[in-house]
Structure 1
Amino acid sequence: MTTSEWAEVDRYLVESLVQDADTEAALAANAAAGLPAIDVSPPQGKFLNLLARSAGVRRVLEIGTLGGYSTIWLARAVGEKGQVITLEFQQQHADVARENLDRAGIGARVDIRVGAALDSLPVLAAEHPEPFDLVFIDADKVNNSNYVQWALRLTRPGSIIIVDNVVRNGAVADASSDDPVIQASRDVIELLAAEPTLDATALQTVGAKGWDGFAYAIVNGAD
């Protein structure tokens, strides 16, 4: 199949299962503000929502906010008493995300922290927060392994860690690649495989966003 055929399937799935006024408005606002169109796809966004709801997630850490598209799906999942803490590097992106979240009626559940995630994470850890039930990593790819290490410090047995965009059009299988993003994807997969406190897999995905995939891990030790 071609990318256009994958996109056509995505359009059908969105029209049938995912159409949603608040998230569509967020994507429109992101485009109007000039944000890059690198959000998760609508089917992937709803998948995150359903996954979090199925697991009874109440506390989420998101690394990489952009305009808050995936944040909306996650904030809906945690419910009125839940919380999402999301880390965003650029103030402009955070401002757009705040408007999108408030428009969707779930802004009160979301704490947006602006700055480099590797600076924000030590500050967050020093606050000794309750463990997060789910960590969604979708930021600068070269730091994915660092983000997973921080996620391990901030979660509990049974928590979920998801790392987006690890397949990279299949290039993750190329051990000879000198692309730092590809090497980072290989590094994080190797970390997930070697880390004894994690049990992980990865899935390839195709659709309007092309060919990619995500890693999914559970922190070991839950009953």
Structure 2
Amino acid sequence: MGNEPDWAEVDSYLVSTLVGADPDLDAALAANAEASLPPIDVAPNQGKLLNLLARMVLARNVLEIGTLGGYSTIWLARAVGASGRVVTLEFEPAHAEVAAANVKRAGLEDRVDIRVGAALDNLPLIAKEDSTPFDLVFIDADKENNTEYLKWALALSHTGTVVIVDNVVRGGHVSNPTLDDERVKASREVLEAIAAEPRLDGTAIQTVGSKGWDGFAIAVVTE
């Protein structure tokens, strides 16, 4: 037998076969690297999964908590269509500037609203200014605040809203209740919050690939 394949090789095959090259997305990743943003964007096949999930529920109003350089934002903005919008929250002004340029290059600036500052400061403002609930919420920011972000996702949702929380498996450490790691503790907390919330029905999936061993939670608002 030959060498055993590794996760990154499989991801490379899946991406080349099912996602393909994309000049705007490739340019966004290159710009993020040039600006020294941390290389924590979703993988291309995960980005397309976000896009497909948004299209499956006919999302026209999307909230993203954690913009980084706008890579996942572009995937989501494509999904909502010309009449839709993505409100995306980014704490770091420098990251938001890179994201704005990436979104503009992709021709999607008219449907993307980047809010700069702490998400827990911006979310109450969004609740006051617009009564339109979000159809999909993607949570991918500082993990320690995930449970608070989940509460806001519920407050800004309607029956049928999809909520996705990224990076909850933490290399498998999420199963360890005694590990002294704040991100692991936060992941356990948000998963337990989903399980305890009667208005949510959710699950979580482990993933392996070019980003290592991790996973995401996905839930639907039931009432």
Q: Is the 8 A contact 1:3 1:208 kept in 2?
A: no
> Secondary structure of 2:6's match?
helix
> Secondary structure of 1:175's match?
coil
Q: Is the 8 A contact 1:134 1:161 kept in 2?
A: yes
For residues 75 and 216 of structure 2, the distance between their equivalents in structure 1, rounded to whole angstroms, comes to 17
> Secondary structure of 2:170's match?
coil
For residues 4 and 220 of structure 2, the distance between their equivalents in structure 1, rounded to whole angstroms, comes to 31
Q: Which runs of 4+ in 1 moved over 6 A?
A: none
User: Which residue is equivalent to 1:30?
Assistant: 32
TM-score by length of 2: 0.96
For residues 7 and 156 of structure 1, the distance between their equivalents in structure 2, rounded to whole angstroms, comes to 37
> Secondary structure of 2:179's match?
coil
Matches for 1:66-145 after TM superposition, within 5 Å:
66-145=68-147
- Uncovered stretches (5+) of structure 1, i.e. residues with no partner: none
- Uncovered stretches (5+) of structure 2, i.e. residues with no partner: none
Identity %: 64
**Number of residue pairs the alignment of both structures matches:** 220
Q: How far has the Cα of 1:3 moved from its partner? A: 11
For residues 125 and 200 of structure 2, the distance between their equivalents in structure 1, rounded to whole angstroms, comes to 24
Letter of the 2:113 partner, please give it.
D
CA RMSD, 1 decimal? 1.3
TM-score by length of 1: 0.96
User: Which residue is equivalent to 1:49?
Assistant: 51
Letter of the 1:125 partner, please give it.
A
Letter of the 2:99 partner, please give it.
A
Q: Is the 8 A contact 1:3 1:207 kept in 2?
A: no
Letter of the 1:81 partner, please give it.
S
Q: Quick one: which of 142, 152, 155 aligns to 2:154?
A: 152
Distance 1:194 1:155, change over 3 A: same
User: Which residue is equivalent to 1:14?
Assistant: 15
For residues 151 and 52 of structure 2, the distance between their equivalents in structure 1, rounded to whole angstroms, comes to 25
> Secondary structure of 1:99's match?
helix
